[in-house]
Structure 1
Amino acid sequence: MFARFAALTVLLGTLLGVTAAHAQSTDASGTWLTQAGDARVKISKCGGGICGVIVWLREPYDTATGQPATDSKNPNPALARRPMIGLPLFSSMQPTSPNKWSGQIYNADDGSTYASSITVTGAESLRVEGCVGALCGGETWSRVGR
């Protein structure tokens, strides 16, 4: 009888450990390094979905002016002056499954917003994809902090 109880306890503990590991791996909250390694994005829960803002840049200063980098590619002159650090990247990013969110992503490289999805693919990896019409692409980000 004790052996069965011990085996059940071990099995239950293993299942709970797997469930906890799975739950942790599907949480997008934390700080992520872009695939190119040029930016870190802090993702947090907000409004029933997730938000993401730039918190670090490999090159935080404009090399021409020596001033902090700004959203200079944005076609709106007022927004083109906002700092890159703190720049929001996601909008309307809502859950579509336990480890996936869909919405819009802002691309500071060209000042445009695109349809996007974000999928946690492992405890330390996040797939970020965006589409322009039928043309889609993406990259994998690595977790650097919780």
Structure 2
Amino acid sequence: MLWIPIIMACGIAAVAEAADIDGQWSRGDGNAKIRIAPCGADICAVNTWIKPGTPSEKAGDRLVMTIKRDSDDMYSGTAFDPQRNLTYRITLSVKGNDMTTRGCIVAGLICRGVHWARLN
């Protein structure tokens, strides 16, 4: 399942605020790579590579995030997954080249965290 910050956008946050999360990221399990960048007024995380044999994800899947910066290294808001028609509550913590995303559904009862490493 695509959990980008469940990864990661923004009617509220300006594009400049997204600078810390913009770029290429590799998921901690090595099964996916994403590109995070502004897409209109939001921020999109798009799968650029998925490990072959991963049944629920494919390259090109995207997550549209409406997030705001809470502090120097924290973002929060919502993320919409159009492939699954699901909306998540999401938080992102970015420290240098490391990012942790946490997405929740069902009023916060089901959550999942994912670690990401920035690619050069």
Q: TM-score range by the shorter chain?
A: 0.5 to 0.7
Hey, what's the Cα distance between the residues in 1 that align with 2:38 and 2:30?
23
User: Offset at 1:42?
Assistant: 0.3
| Gap runs ≥5 in structure 1 | 1-25, 63-68, 72-83
* Higher normalized contact order (CA 8 Å, seq sep 6+, divided by chain length): 2
Amino acid in structure 1 at the alignment position of 2:46: V
Alignment-derived partner of residue 118 in structure 2: 143
Q: Which residue of 1 aligns with 2:34?
A: 41
The alignment partner of 1:44 has SS state of: strand
Alpha-carbon displacement from aligned partner over 1:67-115 (angstroms, at most 9, x marks no partner): xx776xxxxxxxxxxxx2121123323433333332215397xx34321
Report the AA paired with residue 112 of structure 2. Answer: G
Instruction: Tell me if structure 1 keeps the 8 A contact 2:78–2:87.
Output: no
TM-score (norm: length of structure 2): 0.64
Bigger mean CA offset, 34-43 vs 99-108:
99-108
What residue number does 2:22 align with? 29
CA RMSD in angstroms comes to 2.8
Q: Separation in 1 of the partners of 2:43 and 2:87?
A: 16
Q: Supply the distance in 2 between the matched residues of 1:31 and 1:134 (Cα, whole angstroms).
A: 28
CA separation in 1, counterparts of 2:82 and 2:118? 20
Q: Distance in 2 between matches of 1:70 and 1:44?
A: 23
In structure 1, what is the equivalent of residue 91 of structure 2?
A: 117
Distance 2:41 2:98 in 1: 22
C-alpha contact (below 8 Å) 2:98/2:116 kept by paired residues: yes
Q: How many residues align?
A: 98
* Structure showing greater Rg: 1
User: What is the SS of the residue equivalent to 2:29?
Assistant: coil
Richer in strand (by share):
2
Does residue 131 of the first structure (1) align with residue 111 of the second (2)? no
User: TM-score scaled by structure 1?
Assistant: 0.54
Matched, 1:96 2:70: yes
Q: Counting helix residues as a fraction of each chain, which structure ranks higher? A: 1
Instruction: Give ranges in structure 2 of 5+ residues lacking alignment.
Output: 1-18
